[in-house]
Chains A and B, each alone.
Chain A
Amino acid sequence: MTDSSPSDTLLSVHELRKYFHLNSSFLHRSGKTVKALDGVSLHIKPGETLGLVGESGCGKTTLAKCILNIETPSSGQILFEGARINDLSGENLKSLRRNLQVIFQDPFGSLTPRMRVSRILREPLDVHSIGKSDQRAQLVTEMLERVGLRADHGTRFPHELSGGQRQRVAIARALMVKPRLIVADEPVSALDVSIQAQIINLLVDLQREYHLSYLFVSHDLGVVKYISDRVVVMYLGKIVEAATRDDLFAKPFHPYTISLMSAIPVPRAGGRTAEVDVKGEVPSPINPPSGCPYHTRCHKSRSRCTTEIPQLRQQAEGHYAACHYPDREVKVDA
């Protein structure tokens, strides 16, 4: 992707790699390496939502964890407001934490089971000394109401709340420190469809109110299409396509993106998409295919695809795809 000047970029990731070494016990050294992230670059602007799409195991969660400073990347750079953040510690890391928060997929697993909601929400204030200590309870109540809960929900334990309510608490916790960027890792996938819409709308409202940026990680292109400004598609640790939301959905280049789109249910009669099957399973990241990682499942794979790794190239203005034979024929209903 293009380099953008630091001024209009909140977060940028350059050539990020994360390799996991498998099973290297003392006597057995298998020497196998999983390339969870294999040279990923992207950026997010203030107030923008970047959708990150891919099947499970494509490295999107690893990318999220690297950005959150939970995993240490093997190489590459992560810049937040132009400053390198991938090896912070101490106070610097702590001040980064104030700007960078997370929402997880499973709101039950992401809330401490034996802590009351009010304490869960108060903890960030205590950690970062936000507000005077006698104001903090008030801040917690305000935030509860802001995310659509009542003040008395604060006295409950997470298991006494519904899935949607729990996710509201998780969102509130992330917002307590007034972050600039929230990494949302599949934030609605575990919820009922009816509740998904409520949560997505809440996220959109909050974004406007607090001028938030989102890195919105999902396997569901339908949700991503609704919320994102720009979209990045990942496959086996690599970015295979990146574009603005409108460009991507109007004219996808990569066969993988096209196959993902064909999986979105389209309610309109007559508006049939060009059906392309995603055939087969995702290859094991331990033994990634040679050449283009997607060629084992690609319907138009040719011999070049099995030997040469395609680079991310600009296919149209601001629209990048990593494919030797970018598809220009198949049109998808946007």
Chain B
Amino acid sequence: MTDQNVNVSGRLVVGRFRSARFISGRMASNKMLMVGGVIVAVFTLMAIFAPWIAPYDPLELHIKDRFSPPSASFWLGTDNLGRDILSRLIFGSRISFQVGAIAVSIAIAGGVLIGAVAGFVGGIIDDILMRIADALLAFPPLLLALGLVASIGPGLWTVSLAIGVVYIPRVARVMRGSVLVERKRDYVVAARVLGQSPWKILLFHIGPSTISPIIVVATIIFALAIIIEAALSFLGVGLVPPTPSWGIDLDVARHYLHRSIWMPLFPGIAISLAVLGLNLLGDGLRDYLDPRSYSTNAANTGS
């Protein structure tokens, strides 16, 4: 998918080109961080408190008010079955963020483990694991997710699992890279000289230093997971109607383009905003957590 390729695979595939940022500099990155953080926070709150915020049950049919435009009783209008679009959007954020959270957890758990082992153990194990990771990265992500969902079936958990698995190799690559850098640092040598066991060194010394890049990649995978879930649901192979998924709502909406512009408009805005927020957050965090700026800062605090 193009839209999701832009942030991660765009950067991975074209790693040798200069990274093309919209804005640069510390001030700008703080702004990105703030705007992205606010957007993501709003969606997170919406997802958590959906039942209390939403004016209606997202599945409740208001047969008399089908296709109604935004009004005092239905702020964003209703859909083809008279369901409140706003309520479906709010509950949709719950679905999106659930899928995102589960998929990211799976990708992080698998990727961190595999990447850490590959980077720390090295040798033939590293070679084999990274060859496999490269092969999995060579699949277009949506295609791989589609194939996995085709075999393990539709639903929130299977979709999240499929998306999570698709992004394991990406996390593994990032993790391995950090471990390779960190394990040469003096503090690791010092821990070895102290006689600390290799696995405790990996866990207590190297592990915490790899958190920053993992947080950044997790944010971006979160955005990708939201898009892929929406795409799978849109294609009819992801979540099952009448689940209030943004992707499902868009799929329904495209059949009623002549009746309602509100049905396709709002779910699309929701997806775009959520993805934009997460991408800004990811970019902002990347600059903010950059280990180089981190150590320069720290060095300046010297007496």
How many B residues, CB 8 Å from partner? 24
B204 surroundings in chain A (CB, below 8 A): 112, 115, 123
A98 surroundings in chain B (CB, below 8 A): 195
Q: What CA separation (Å) do A133 and B208 show in the bound complex?
A: 24
Let me know if A100 and B190 touch, CB within 8 A.
Answer: no
CB interface residues, B 177-217, toward A, < 8 Å: 185-187, 189-196, 204-205, 208-209, 211
A105 surroundings in chain B (CB, below 8 A): 186
Let me know if A109 and B193 touch, CB within 8 A.
Answer: no
How many A residues, CB 8 Å from partner? 36
Tell me whether A173 is interfacial, beta carbon within 8 Å.
yes
Tell me whether A159 is interfacial, beta carbon within 8 Å.
yes
Nearest A residue to B193 via CB reads A102
Let me know if A112 and B191 touch, CB within 8 A.
Answer: yes
Q: What CA separation (Å) do A102 and B187 show in the bound complex?
A: 11
Tell me whether A162 is interfacial, beta carbon within 8 Å.
yes
B191 surroundings in chain A (CB, below 8 A): 112, 123
Tell me whether B135 is interfacial, beta carbon within 8 Å.
no
A116-134 to B contact mask, C-beta < 8 Å, 1/0: 0000000110011000000
Contact of B301 among A100, A113, A160, A177 (CB under 8 A): A160
Tell me whether B302 is interfacial, beta carbon within 8 Å.
yes
Tell me whether A189 is interfacial, beta carbon within 8 Å.
no
Report the minimum CB–CB distance from B131 to chain A (whole Å): 14
Report the minimum CB–CB distance from A63 to chain B (whole Å): 14
Let me know if A173 and B194 touch, CB within 8 A.
Answer: yes
**Which A residues form the contact surface with B (CB < 8 A)?**
65, 68-70, 93-94, 97-98, 100-102, 104-106, 108-115, 123-124, 127-128, 158-160, 162-165, 170, 173, 177
What 4 A-B pairs are tightest by C-beta distance, nearest first?
A: A159-B298, A97-B195, A162-B303, A114-B208
Q: What are 18 A-B contacts defined by CB distance under 8 Å? A: A65-B189, A70-B192, A93-B195, A102-B189, A104-B189, A108-B299, A109-B185, A109-B187, A112-B205, A114-B211, A115-B205, A124-B194, A124-B195, A127-B196, A163-B299, A164-B302, A173-B194, A177-B194
